[in-house]
């Protein structure tokens, strides 16, 4: 069996992969066979029952590397090779921003260890900003009262024009405060199981070679959600900010990350005049405008509506055609109602992921016909391979696995409720069965071959479980 991490030599003109001196971990014995093996290892033993917790975590070595599309284009190793002076330990927003600036050398290799919880709403003095700090006088209920049967009207009340302006000002101020720009050649590592960035957007814009591992990212709460009458047949309330967003960036690896709505699930959002919830959140991991060579592995995506959008529009062939290539391997999608992921234009490999949803989920219910797991968009080519789709409740059936139009899809050996499923039989007519690419022609990988192994991995070996510690001498940035 081929190893999961490619062993091909770098092509002429490409730089050889650097080793990863920045991942300092306690060694863990591999006592649960295939489930505990790192992505590049070969399975040796049968997995335990899906209900059994793991006895150990990954044996993470210094040259841990991604699989999938992130191995292409020269590979992805983030800040590997960073000097000691560019190895940081941060615990506040101000320290994180300073570390990413890297003393003015933003694009040189850097490694940033995150300790504890960093809040994007945090001021320099440690206090947190809220709605009234971003837009004094803004009142959501007043804003909502300005909608008439014909839509928004400045004339509905004497305060409507002022509320409209305050909403826009507040949205822009929130963006400036909470967007954390990550430059090229960066690794961000969470220390232990409780490292978290919350209330912020991790933004990759024109970045190359970024690694984010062992971290929880709670999506920012948008206080200033706007109404879009053209979204869907009946319109929708759209939040502005993602948890992680990539715009025109290349070679990205997310591993052992949890992406979640966290403290503010959209199930608690107020209901607008349209009868639709005024959602707090946009996407959890969106890739746009020609982003390419991305892998997400061993991660959790939890309790969210529209989780991951790959390509932001059907008319963006000029920027997206031939790009937006992404691998999702051994992740858990738990309580997600749509877009796990939804893909336009790109070649996507969705392999060994565990999808769980319930018609009666108290936080994020997935009603029959109202959502889906894998979305096949215009000119996309998706290979689904040995995934487990675990959807339960009245009316739940295998058609939830795939939805869309204008793209191509094929499935190899997946399961619905732990039994083999023929996804071709439930494929919408607007989707072509069969693709013209094979992941094995691009990178080497291996698969877990039983539904019990995939489910157990998704339940027990995803999210920030790696025993990462910061090295001695890591720099705590000086901030004013």
pLDDT tens column, 89-121: 999 999 999 999 999 999 999 999 999 999 999
Q: How far apart are CA 31 and CA 56, in angstroms?
A: 6
Neighbours of 148 (CB within 10 A): 12
Selecting among 300, 339, 342, 344, the annotated active-site residue is 339
Q: Is position 211 within any domain?
A: yes
Q: How far apart are CA 170 and CA 160, in angstroms?
A: 15
Helix (H, G, I), strand (E, B) or coil at 205: strand
Q: pTM score > 0.75 for this model?
A: yes
Q: Is position 170 within any domain?
A: no
Q: Is position 153 within any domain?
A: no
Return the bridge partners of 357, or none: 391
Q: How far apart are CA 140 and CA 131, in angstroms?
A: 10
Task: Give the residue numbers spanning the domain of 237.
Answer: 24-126+179-469
Helix ranges (H only) for 159-263 are 160-178
pLDDT at 49 > cutoff 80: no
Q: How far apart are CA 16 and CA 93, in angstroms?
A: 34
Report the share of the chain in percent with pLDDT over 70.
87
Give me the CATH number covering residue 62.
2.160.20.10
Contact 180, 100 (CB under 8 A): yes
Task: Read off the pLDDT of residues 428-455 as tens digits, 9 standing for 90 and up.
Answer: 999 999 999 999 999 999 999 999 999 9
pLDDT at 25 > cutoff 80: no
Q: What is the pLDDT of residue 64?
A: 64
339 catalytic per annotation: yes
Q: Is position 423 within any domain?
A: yes
Contact 138, 163 (CB under 8 A): yes
* Average pLDDT score over residue span 413-418: 98
Q: How far apart are CA 32 and CA 35, in angstroms?
A: 6
Q: Is position 143 within any domain?
A: no
Contact 190, 213 (CB under 8 A): yes
pLDDT band of residue 10 (cuts 50, 70, 90) is very low
pLDDT band of residue 463 (cuts 50, 70, 90) is very high
Q: How far apart are CA 168 and CA 55, in angstroms?
A: 51
Buried b (16+ CB within 10 A) or exposed e, 15-49: eebeebbbbbbeebebebebbbbbbbbebeeebbe
Q: Is position 439 within any domain?
A: yes
Contact 358, 392 (CB under 8 A): yes
Q: Is position 10 within any domain?
A: no
Q: Total structural domains in the chain?
A: 1
Q: Token pair for residue 361? A: 């989920």
pLDDT band of residue 235 (cuts 50, 70, 90) is confident
Task: Read off the pLDDT of residues 276-290 as tens digits, 9 standing for 90 and up.
Answer: 889 999 899 999 999
Q: Is position 210 within any domain?
A: yes
């Amino acid at each position: 069996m081929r190893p999961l991490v490619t062993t091909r030599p770098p092509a002429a003109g490409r730089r050889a992969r650097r080793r990863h001196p920045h991942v300092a971990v306690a060694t863990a014995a591999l006592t649960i066979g295939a489930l505990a093996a790192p992505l590049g290892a070969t399975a040796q033993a049968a997995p335990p029952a899906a209900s059994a917790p793991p006895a150990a975590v990954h044996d993470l070595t210094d040259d841990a590397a991604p699989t999938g599309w992130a191995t292409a284009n020269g590979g992805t190793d983030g800040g590997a090779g960073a000097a000691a002076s560019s190895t940081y330990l941060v615990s506040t927003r101000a320290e994180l921003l300073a570390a990413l600036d890297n003393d003015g050398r933003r694009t040189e290799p850097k490694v940033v260890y995150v300790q504890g919880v960093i809040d994007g709403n945090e001021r320099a003095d440690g206090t947190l900003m809220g709605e009234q700090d971003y837009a004094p006088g803004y009142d959501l209920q007043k804003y909502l009262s300005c909608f008439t049967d014909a839509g928004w009207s400045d004339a509905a009340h004497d305060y409507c024009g002022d509320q409209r302006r305050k909403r826009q000002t507040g949205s822009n101020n929130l963006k400036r405060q909470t967007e954390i720009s990550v430059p090229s050649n960066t690794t961000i590592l969470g220390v232990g199981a409780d490292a978290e960035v919350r209330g912020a957007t991790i933004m990759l814009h024109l970045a190359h070679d970024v690694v984010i591992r062992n971290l929880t990212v709670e999506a920012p709460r948008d206080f200033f959600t706007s109404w879009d009458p053209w979204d869907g047949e009946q319109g929708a309330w759209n939040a502005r900010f993602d948890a992680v967003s990539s715009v025109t960036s290349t070679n990205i690896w997310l591993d052992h990350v949890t992406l979640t709505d966290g403290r503010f699930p959209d199930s608690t959002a107020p209901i607008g005049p349209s009868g639709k919830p005024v959602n707090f959140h946009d996407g959890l991991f969106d890739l746009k405008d020609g982003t390419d060579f991305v892998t997400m592995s061993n991660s959790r995506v939890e309790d969210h509506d529209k989780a991951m959008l790959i390509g932001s529009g059907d008319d963006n062939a000029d920027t997206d055609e031939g790009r937006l290539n992404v691998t999702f391997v051994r992740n858990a999608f738990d309580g997600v109602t749509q877009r796990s992921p939804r893909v336009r234009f790109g070649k996507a490999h969705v392999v060994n992921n565990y999808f769980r949803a319930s018609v009666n989920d108290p936080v994020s219910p997935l009603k029959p016909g109202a959502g889906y797991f894998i979305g096949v968009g215009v000119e996309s080519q998706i290979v689904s391979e040995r995934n487990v789709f675990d959807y339960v409740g009245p009316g739940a059936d295998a058609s939830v696995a795939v939805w869309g139009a204008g793209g191509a899809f094929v499935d190899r050996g997946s399961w619905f409720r732990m039994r083999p499923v023929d996804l071709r039989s439930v494929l919408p007519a607007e989707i072509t069965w069969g693709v013209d690419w094979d992941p094995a022609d691009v990178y080497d990988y291996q698969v877990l071959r039983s539904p019990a192994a995939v489910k157990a991995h998704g339940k027990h070996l995803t999210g920030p479980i790696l025993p990462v510690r910061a090295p001695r001498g890591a720099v705590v940035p000086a901030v004013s």
